[in-house]
Amino acid sequence: MEIAALLEPDIPMMLSSLGAARLAAGDGAGAEAALRRTLVLEPRHAPARDRLIRLLEDADRFSEAVAERSREPQLPDAPAYRDAFAKSGQVGYRAVGHEALRAVATQLEPRVVELQAGQAPTANEIFSPPIVRLVALYAQLGDWKRVRSWRLAGAAARPALARWFDSIPELQPPARRASRLDAVEGLR
């Protein structure tokens, strides 16, 4: 990704992917730089913005996360996060985030069931399986029973997903997660 971003420095997808790769490698500072460069080129680049917000949240930089949600084009949920943070600080911000994650998981679960029952996936669902997103959501929520259940179901239906699940940061062993958070902490 480093080489791709050097060869194509003006393509937001390359920079966003570089940011994702740096996050996965535990390079929080490098990830933040790549994601911010992506958003200069394409302010509406949703994956880069989501990753940057998540990085800021992981580093307990909630005021910066609120600012990123609120910058133009403002995200639809920005007022809820801004108000919760102003009223209750980190606790309020996290409560809004928890509710949002739970709502997405609740909406996504029926689609995963349809796919498991044999409904044809869309092109996007082939390349980005909803079950991977669902497992990541439940991991973020700390619902380990559902993580295990959906992870096993996904790997049974499509064995190659087992490796994909292994790459989800929230499912990494605690030592690896801690090293990733330490790298993000160095950004302060």
pTM: 0.78
Q: Given a cut of 80, is residue 2 above it in pLDDT?
A: yes
Q: Which of 4-13, 65-74, 153-162, 175-184 has the lowest mean pLDDT?
A: 175-184
Q: What is the pLDDT of residue 108?
A: 97
Q: Given a cut of 50, is residue 11 above it in pLDDT?
A: yes
CA–CA distance, 32 with 30 (Å, rounded to integer) = 5
Instruction: Kindly list the distances between the CA atom of residue 122 and the CA atoms of 8, 15, 32, 129, 185, in Å, as whole numbers in the listed order.
Output: 29, 26, 31, 10, 38
CA–CA distance, 125 with 136 (Å, rounded to integer) = 15
Q: What is the pLDDT of residue 179?
A: 47
Q: What is the mean pLDDT of the chain?
A: 90
CA–CA distance, 54 with 110 (Å, rounded to integer) = 25
Q: What is the pLDDT of residue 174?
A: 54
Instruction: Kindly list the distances between the CA atom of residue 134 and the CA atoms of 7, 77, 104, 144, in Å, as whole numbers in the listed order.
Output: 34, 20, 8, 12
CA–CA distance, 17 with 31 (Å, rounded to integer) = 9
Question: In the predicted model, what is the mean pLDDT of residues 44-48?
Answer: 94
Q: What is the pLDDT of residue 176?
A: 47
Q: Given a cut of 90, is residue 26 above it in pLDDT?
A: no
Q: What pLDDT digit, counting tens, does each position of 101-155 carry?
A: 999 999 999 999 999 999 999 999 998 899 999 999 999 999 999 999 999 999 9
Q: Which tokens belong to 145? A: 């029973």
More confident residue, 173 or 64: 64
CA–CA distance, 11 with 22 (Å, rounded to integer) = 17
Domains of the chain: 1-58 (1.25.40.10), 94-188 (no CATH)
